Amino acid sequence: MGVVMRWRSWRVVVIGVMAALGAGCGHERGQAPSKAGKALPEAVAAHSSGVIPAEGPIRVRFVDPVVDGSKVGSPASSSVFRISPHVAGEAIWTGTRDLEFRPSEPLTPGTTYDVTVSVRPAGGGKTLRFGFEVRAADQVMEIGVDGLTVERDGGARLTGRLTTSNAAKAEAVEKVV
């Protein structure tokens, strides 16, 4: 009985070690996997991720300059950003290492967007292609009441504040108030 129990224990240990080693394979050390499971290119320093403002841009920063200074402030090729579901907007080079997608309309709150970036460096070389996800923040409104005061003419005044998580149209705010 003791030999059988030891054999089972060793089998569990060996299977556990193999599973742990297998889980760590497939990615180079020091590189985070992207949505597609591939490592981000070393040329990418940062990008928008997680929850972003519905009216905010989607940004990518490269480690080294990708365009020369004359392109800063200019639109990038329409094929640089591919976003699903589709979002109308414009990609702009905001710096020699910085690319920004500015949506024409606010993103749909609560929606997750798959973003694919494809850039060919100015000096030539291999096209940099990678993907990631962002999610447009849900619209949350919070009302705070500061107080109710009685006016001399007998009227009352209620004061307070309304805070929104995203930019909001006046009509939407009026419905809440």
Q: Domain containing 77 — which CATH number? A: 2.60.40.3710
Q: Within this chain, do residues 76 and 112 fall inside the same structural domain, yes or no? A: yes
Residue ranges making up the domain that contains 145: 141-176
Is 12 within a domain? no
- Please state the domain count of the chain: 2
Is 9 within a domain? no
Is 25 within a domain? no
Is residue 63 a contact partner of residue 44, using CB atoms and an 8 Å limit? Answer: yes
Two tokens at 150?
A: 């009685």
Q: What does the pLDDT read at residue 12?
A: 44
Q: Within this chain, do residues 155 and 132 fall inside the same structural domain, yes or no? A: no
Residue 102 CB neighbours (<10 A): 16
Q: What does the pLDDT read at residue 121?
A: 80
Dihedral angle of Cα 128, 134, 136, 138, to the nearest 10 degrees: -170
Q: Within this chain, do residues 130 and 166 fall inside the same structural domain, yes or no? A: no
Ordered mean pLDDT values, 10 residues apiece, the chain (177 residues): 48 43 36 48 89 94 91 93 95 96 94 94 82 91 85 86 75 73
Whose tokens are 């990678």? That residue is 130
